[in-house]
Amino acid sequence: MVPDMHEHLEQMLTRLKLTAIRDQLDNLIDEAGRRELTIREALAMLCEREIARKDQRRIEMSFGLARFPFVRDIASFDFDAQPSLDKAQVRELSTGRFVANGEAVLLLGPPGVGKTHLAVAIGREVIVAGYTVLFVPATTMVAALAKAHAEGRLEEKLAQLAKPKLLIVDELGYLPFEPDAAHLFFQLVSRRYERGAMLITSNRSVGEWGTVFGDAVAATAILDRLLHHSHIITIRGESYRLREKRRSGILKTPLSTAGITPTHSQQGVSSA
């Protein structure tokens, strides 16, 4: 190719933002020649490479924006360790269909059974499927709402939390909420209701949410909306962390999960 034609092409590809094609142009043209592609086939190959790069960029950026606490995926989840868990249901959630439908997912169970792991893993799949995700610890979120409320910026904060297609609220119930916080949480749930999906993890059964929120009326109103279009997954197994420790001999006798968090009863964690 004549040198100025090469440059001209590069400039056009830059202007069209076809950077993957631009950066690998010589290789791609060689490849098309080697495989004796028709012009139509070659064009399709170029488009595929560009789309693959753009998808990769979007996914990486969304992973960053989601603020996951750690990297976990479905592949690294040991389903054999949690026989009570329906693998097919987890796979179904990973397709992101519940996000498209604006549904709620409640992931319930005692500490250490992999709720946060699954929430992150599903969140990542949902991003790959093309949606935006934000992960927030429940206590952080409620504190942020209360602060925004005190500073007269509640509307702004609610709008921000309503934006991602999926909002993951992790570890609801580890600390009881103030009554005011229950009302703020209700406003958030109402805002997202039927518009955006939510995934909530909790160590408390739905029946205990009145106590968690410190306000039975607010809890009922929140649950009314969350349970309307919802998937409830209850993990009943033992803590994975303790299981690993026991295997390596650090713990000898099986501990019942009820003894792990002395401040809260673990009993009654079940689906609604």
Would you give the distance in Å from CA 209 to the centre of its chain? Answer: 22
Complex with ligand ADP: residue 190 or 266, whichever CB lies closer: 266
Q: Which regions of the chain does DSSP assign to beta strands (E)?
A: 104-108, 133-137, 166-172, 197-202, 230-234
Interface with Mg ion, residue 116, by CB under 5 A: yes
- Least separation in angstroms between residue 193's CB and Mg ion is 24
Strand partners, 198: 104, 167
**Phi and psi (nearest 5°) for 121?**
-60, -45
DSSP states of 42-96 as a string?
Answer: HHHHHHHHHHHHHHHHHHHHHHHHHT-SS---STT--GGG-TTS-HHHHHHHHTT
| Contact flag: residue 203 with Mg ion (CB under 5 A) | no
Q: Which span sits near Mg ion by CB under 5 A: 39-47, 107-115, 149-157, 187-195?
A: 107-115
Selected from 145, 233, 240, 269, the binder of ligand ADP by CB under 6 A is: 240
Which of 38, 248 has the CB closer to ligand ADP?
248
Residue 77 within binding range of ligand ADP, rule CB under 6 A? yes
Distance CA 76, CA 265 (A): 29
Contacted entry of ligand ADP, Mg ion, none for residue 234, CB cut-off 5 to 8 Å set by kind: none
Residue 264, interface with ligand ADP (CB under 6 A)? no
Work out the number of other CB atoms within 10 angstroms of the CB of residue 33: 10
Residue 111 in contact with ligand ADP, rule: CB under 6 A: yes
205 part of the interface to ligand ADP, by CB under 6 A? no
By CB under 5 A, name the binding residues for Mg ion: 115-116
By CB under 6 A, name the binding residues for ligand ADP: 72, 76-78, 81-82, 109, 111-117, 240-241
